[in-house]
Amino acid sequence: MEISPFFKSIIDSDSAPVVICDLNHTVIYMNPASIKRYHTDLTGKSLKACHNAHSNEKIDKVVSWFQKDPDNNKVFTYHSDSENKDVYMVALRDGETLIGYYEKHESRNGEKERPYNV
């Protein structure tokens, strides 16, 4: 699967890790922030190979929930106190058809930069 240059640019400019998987749990793309965080590029490999059995059960449970209803699109997976961020699994859809999912990190730290400080 090829990612359009526009979408790739958006994903690559995100400072948060983004790992995109298809429904076979194959990593189809990792942005630079995710490669830096996980110290490896898993593109083309199974996401499940780097998780334990308990985590893989959770991944399967969420994907199954995504498949039940096109409105089931985002699940909170954990909060990191040390990084003050929340992590989610988010459904990827082509219309109403589930085509994959991705990991989304959301920082809970307020922005320190002044608005429009160019």
Q: Which CATH architecture has domain 5-107?
A: 2-Layer Sandwich (3.30)
Strands (E), 50-111: 74-80, 85-94, 97-107
The per-residue pLDDT for 109 is 85
11 and 105 Cβ atoms separated by less than 8 Å: no
Q: Please choose, from the candidates 94, 95, 65, 93, the residue with its C-alpha nearest in 3D space to the C-alpha of residue 77.
A: 65
The per-residue pLDDT for 96 is 93
Tell me the one-letter amino acid at 11: I
pLDDT digits (tens, 9 = 90+) for 66-97: 999 999 999 999 999 999 999 999 999 999 99
This model's pTM is above 0.85: yes
Residue 92 pairs with which residues in a beta bridge? 100
86 exposure class (CB count in 10 Å sphere: 0-12, 13-18, 19+): middle
The per-residue pLDDT for 42 is 95
pLDDT digits (tens, 9 = 90+) for 12-31: 999 999 999 999 999 999 99
Helix, strand or coil, per DSSP, at residue 3: coil
- Mean pLDDT, residues 48-54: 94
pLDDT range class, residue 1, cuts 50, 70, 90: low
What strands, in cross-sheet order, belong to the sheet with 85-94?
A: 27-30, 18-22, 97-107, 85-94, 74-80
